[in-house]
A and B are shown apart, each in its own frame.
Chain A
Amino acid sequence: MEIHDERIGDTCVVTAKGRLDGGASTAFADRIGALIASSKPKLLIDFAEVDFVTSAGLRAVLVLVKKIKAADGSFALCSVQESVREVLDITGFAGMLKIHAARAEAIAAMSE
């Protein structure tokens, strides 16, 4: 899985590409976890090019969410593909996370 990060305002925006599965989940959580070491971190992960998410990938996302909640920060996903969105719906992640249709909308919401 490829991961690219940038800062837009006070939000860390991560673009992920590829499969978030058992082979990628640990590196995903470690790499992004290192980006949110500050207090009250704001993290947006763009899932536009994430085409496959397993339970191990969901576990990595949950680890990040818990870390951000503990630091009183905020977390969102955007641009989630249809099949991945179904996985998030089934597992209750869609109700637990903020999921935006598009990156611009997510950044605007997180900047408020």
Chain B
Amino acid sequence: MTAVTTRLESTVLATEDGISDLTDRVLAFLEEQGVEARPTHHAALVLSEVLTNLGTHGGCRDQPARVAMTVEPDQVTGEIVDRGPPFDPRLAPAPALDLAADDRPIGGLGLYLVRKLSCALEYQRRGDENCTTFAIKRGTASNNGTSA
């Protein structure tokens, strides 16, 4: 017997409004599918952070990215395909987390969250497109992040 999966597919511009609208749809979709609150939150957050990075650092706000979210029995997976410059989110430097507030730099946390919240994170450059995939474990226990 094959396990049942459901999938949401969309395109989105990596702008604040585009990402916010997509977050609404992803949260609603995952809740409709009965995904627990924690993986629902984390899947939407990881998707939002990858797209925010594409818009702010990749400078790619004018060409829509293709996104898909798939609900599986034990995990939620996401896929983002974009035409930004080559960028592997797994290789972004880790921020300094142990500094006092006065010394902490502003920023640098988005991709760190992507890595820590995902139980799997993959990247491929395919022609002139980036393909980033991630997985969030279902249930209430914490994920083991993919790297520091």
Is there an interface contact between B110 and A51, defined as CB atoms closer than 8 Å? no
Is there an interface contact between B41 and A21, defined as CB atoms closer than 8 Å? no
Contacts A55-B52, A55-B110, A66-B101: A22 and B20 contacting too (C-beta < 8 A)? yes
CB distance from A29 to the nearest CB of B (A): 11
- Give 1 or 0 for each of B37-58: 1 = CB within 8 Å of chain A CB: 1100110110011001000000
Contact-size category for B: 20 to 34
Is there an interface contact between A91 and B112, defined as CB atoms closer than 8 Å? yes
Is there an interface contact between A19 and B23, defined as CB atoms closer than 8 Å? yes
In the complex, given contacts A19-B20, A21-B20, what are 18 additional A-B residue pairs having Cβ atoms less than 8 angstroms apart? A19-B23, A21-B19, A22-B16, A52-B23, A55-B52, A55-B110, A59-B106, A59-B107, A62-B106, A66-B101, A66-B102, A84-B41, A86-B42, A86-B142, A90-B116, A90-B117, A91-B95, A97-B101
Q: Which residues of A contact B (CB under 8 A)?
A: 19, 21-23, 51-52, 54-56, 58-59, 62-63, 65-66, 69, 82-84, 86-87, 90-92, 95-97
